[in-house]
């Protein structure tokens, strides 16, 4: 239940931040969202078995499921790569946060 509440709180924060204008806040929202989903992945392996899956003699009844841990590890690096790229975009397109000039897309062809 604690995990569900945490995932819920993180998702709520993510949605709030994703709807902001400033791209930096949007990036933070995306980070929160990927945190939430990583926790969800952990939860999918069962929450009651807490022992780390390391060592020779493992008891399947108490050892945590290693597969979701591998999923999370993969997802973390993917999200990390995209976050870095988004942060660069947040800097290069900074002006668009402020003036919000848009939007018929014709000014570039003017």
Which tokens sit at 102? Answer: 């848009």
Q: Name which of residues 48 to 107 contact another protein (CB under 8 A).
A: 67-68, 71, 74-75, 78-79, 81-83, 85-86, 89-90, 92-93, 95-96, 102, 104-107
Angle of the 66-92 helix axis to the 23-44 helix axis, nearest 10: 180
The yes or no reply on residue 109 touching another protein (CB under 8 A) is yes
Hey, CA dihedral for 88, 18, 32, 41, is it positive or negative? negative
- Residue 63 bridge partners (DSSP): 51
Residues lying near another protein in the complex (CB under 8 A):
18, 23, 26, 30, 33-34, 36-37, 40-41, 43-45, 67-68, 71, 74-75, 78-79, 81-83, 85-86, 89-90, 92-93, 95-96, 102, 104-110
């Amino acid at each position: 239940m604690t995990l569900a509440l945490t995932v819920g709180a993180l998702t709520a924060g993510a949605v709030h931040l994703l709807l902001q204008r400033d791209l930096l806040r949007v990036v933070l929202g995306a980070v929160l969202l990927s945190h939430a989903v990583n926790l969800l992945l952990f939860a999918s392996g069962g929450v009651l078995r807490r022992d780390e899956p390391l060592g020779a003699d493992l008891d399947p009844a108490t050892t945590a499921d290693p597969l979701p841990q591998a999923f999370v590890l993969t997802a973390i690096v993917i999200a990390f790569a995209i976050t870095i790229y988004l942060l660069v975009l947040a800097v290069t397109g900074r002006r668009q946060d402020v003036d919000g000039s848009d939007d018929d897309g014709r000014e570039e062809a003017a």
